Structures are given as structure tokens and as C-alpha cells.
Amino acid sequence: MDDIYRYQRHIYDLSRKYYLLGRDQLLREISLTSGETLLEMGCGTGRNLIKAARLYPETKLYGIDLSEEMLATARKSIARAGLQDRITLAKADATRVDAQALFGCSDFDHVMFSYSLSMIPPWNAALDQGAMLLAPKGQLHLVDFGQQEHLPVLFRRVLLKWLAAFHVEPRVGMDAHLQHLAQQYSRTVRFRSLYRGYAVIGSLA
């Protein structure tokens, strides 16, 4: 991961805003209340956590990422924003998160995946881990690439080829796996397409 992002991290937020669609919509829909906690799995440059901190000023935010290069950028951005007292970061694999060791807490009111599942090969295991980290009344949220099923075929082919160059693969079956977790934890699922299938957004609550 560090090899991928050693140089990309410097232009990541500027370039990704044009095609990582639905991130801000997800942040608005999460709707954190005072005192709640949120963990972002695969927090990258910290962009989402900074926006969440500004949207919800009385919350505590956490982020993990496997890339120390991205975490270095995130720490600088968070410090520049003056939010280091509200956002805590740690290096960890999204499929194996010891929250107690990393953050001193065992669960979270909200766990978020924002365009990270498409970069995690064992994405099912990452979702499983996210569900395990939820507080009893917690909620899991995700936004990621969809299957582009209602977009022109040529556009879809070009997009998938381009994403593959960055080790990104839209995941088939995220909705089905959320349903599986809903049965396991007695939760409900919301899952829908955005922008004609370009992206998907969902939750487990």
C-alpha cells in the first residue's frame, strides 16, 4: 500500500473528488449525535474524518489505514485543521482491528467504509470486522463503486480498466453480504445505487 500511495497521496484528494462520488452524501446521512463515536476503515488522507468533525462538532472520530504514507498525510491535514484532539489515527489491517489496543475502546457507534472495500481483497472479512466493532445500537455505513449497470458499456469498460491500474475492483455482492450480517446481528439493511449504478451506498443498523 505504501508503494501505491507514496506519491499519489500528495494529489489524492484533488484528483479523487471527481470520481469518488457519494462520500459527502454518506457523511450527511450518518447524522452523528453529540457524544457518539465513528471509526473509518481505510481513512486514507483523513479527508472524510475532517469533514465529519466539522459537520458533527461534539463527536469523537477514529481512523485506521494500512498505509503509513497515507496516515502521515492524514496526520498533517488533521493537525492543520486543528482537529488532533478529536481525530485519532492508527495503522491497522481492516480485517483485524484490535480497537482496545489501538484506541482504548472496544466498540463504536458508527463504522464507515468509504471507497475502501474496493481496495481490500478480503472485503467480506473487512465488513465482518466492521460489524463486530459496532456498539449494541451502532450502525455500519458504506459507499463504494457499483457495477455501472445502467451506464454505457464503453464507459464501464474504460472505467474498470482504469480502476484496475490502481488495484481497485468494484465488489459484487456487497448488498448480499450486508443481508447476511443483518441476519447474524438482527439488524436491518439499506442499500441503493447512485448515479445509474456508478456507486452504491448502504447501511447496517
- Domains annotated for the chain, with CATH where assigned, are 2-204 (3.40.50.150)
How many CB atoms neighbour CB 11 within 10 A? 9
Residue 118, CA distances (Å) to 20, 94, 98, 164 in order: 12, 12, 22, 10
Q: Is the pLDDT of residue 136 over 60?
A: yes
Computed over every residue of the chain, the mean pLDDT equals 91
Position 10 scores a pLDDT of 44
For residue 22, give the 3-state DSSP assignment: coil
Please report which confidence band the pLDDT of residue 7 belongs to, taking 50, 70 and 90 as the band edges.
very low
Residue in this structure with the C-alpha cell 473487512, named with its chain if needed: 126
Position 194 scores a pLDDT of 94
Cα–Cα distance for residue pair 143/200, rounded to 1 Å: 6
Average pLDDT on 157-177 reads 92
Contact 156, 148 (CB under 8 A): yes
Residue in this structure with the C-alpha cell 498533517, named with its chain if needed: 76
Position 178 scores a pLDDT of 98
For residue 189, give the 3-state DSSP assignment: strand
pLDDT above 70: percentage of residues in the chain: 91
Q: Across the strands, what pairs with 87?
A: 61
pTM of the full structure: 0.89
Average pLDDT on 94-111 reads 97
Position 19 scores a pLDDT of 57
**pLDDT per residue as tens digits for the range 121-134:** 999 999 999 999 99
**pLDDT per residue as tens digits for the range 14-71:** 445 445 899 999 999 999 999 999 999 999 999 999 999 999 999 999 999 999 999 9
Of residues 92, 108, 103, 128, the one with CA closest to residue 36: 108
Q: Characterize the bridge pairing of strands 189-194 and 134-145.
A: unpaired
Q: Is the pLDDT of residue 81 over 80?
A: yes
Cα–Cα distance for residue pair 71/197, rounded to 1 Å: 30
Residue in this structure with the C-alpha cell 447476511, named with its chain if needed: 180
